[in-house]
Amino acid sequence: MSGLLGKKIGMTRIFDKDGNMIPVTVIEAGPCYVTQVKTAEKDGYEAVQLGFDEKKEKNTNRPVLGHLKKAGVAPLRFMKEFPVAPGAEMKAGDAVKVDIFTEGEIVKVKGVSKGRGFAGVMKRHNFGGGQTSHGQSDRLRAPGSIGQSSWPSKVLKGTRMAGRLGGDTKSIAGIAVVKVDAENNLLFLKGSVPGSRNSLLEIYKR
């Protein structure tokens, strides 16, 4: 299996055998359940649809409920497709757990970054701000000039300005697996990953 879904629990730190402190992100990774198997003969490509995070049946619409009942699994909150190696033996209803990862393995994590709302150019684009001299009391955090003179007399597309910050899909590769707790379905990754607490994450094997 090439990966699985998880939920970000938060950050903490652990110590290795030499006493070095390692900042880690704790992820509740699985168990995920196979809700559909895509085949090249029927769908044109090889993939496995995984479901994660059980929810109440009354909160699931009827088309999704019928799809999950056909696979023989309980109502699930999230479903995503993952590529699989050709010839992999998987069927609907199978469980995929965190033990597909090993300590020291390098993975890629995909999630939605924290939404920060409307932000100015200093926070959004790391601008330095205006001068603090010559009476510029109201330009200290301003972007400065954003346009040209008589031609083309407009603000060009892509000009860095104030606006919405965060809430974007981000992928970070090269994250090391520090610890795998198969008993509690927990994955400890070195450093930080995109997203807020309890947000959905996609963890991919290299």
- pLDDT band, very low/low/confident/very high, at 86 (cuts 50, 70, 90): low
Residues in a beta bridge with 31:
none
User: Is residue 1 pLDDT above 90, yes or no?
Assistant: no
CATH 2.40.30.10 residue ranges of the chain are: 1-30+98-134+160-206
User: Looking at residue 87, what is its pLDDT?
Assistant: 64
- For residues 186 and 204, what is the distance between their CA atoms, to the nearest angstrom? 15
- For residues 12 and 23, what is the distance between their CA atoms, to the nearest angstrom? 6
Overall average pLDDT of the 4-14 stretch: 94
User: Is residue 85 pLDDT above 80, yes or no?
Assistant: no
- For residues 204 and 206, what is the distance between their CA atoms, to the nearest angstrom? 6
Residues in a beta bridge with 179:
188
- For residues 21 and 176, what is the distance between their CA atoms, to the nearest angstrom? 15
Q: Is 29 helix (H, G, I), strand (E, B) or coil?
A: strand
Residue with tokens 């007399």: 153
User: Looking at residue 103, what is its pLDDT?
Assistant: 92
Contact 71, 33 (CB under 8 A): yes
> 32-96: which CATH architecture?
2-Layer Sandwich (3.30)
Closest listed residue to residue 32, CA positions, set 8, 55, 50, 9? 50
CATH 3.30.160.810 residue ranges of the chain are: 32-96
- For residues 66 and 44, what is the distance between their CA atoms, to the nearest angstrom? 23
Contact 132, 138 (CB under 8 A): no
CATH superfamily of 1-30+98-134+160-206: Translation factors (2.40.30.10)
Overall average pLDDT of the 116-126 stretch: 95
The neighbour count for residue 150, using CB atoms within 10 Å, is: 5
- Above pLDDT 70, what percent of the chain? 98
Strand order in the sheet with 76-83: 76-83, 47-54, 32-38, 95-96
- For residues 98 and 185, what is the distance between their CA atoms, to the nearest angstrom? 6
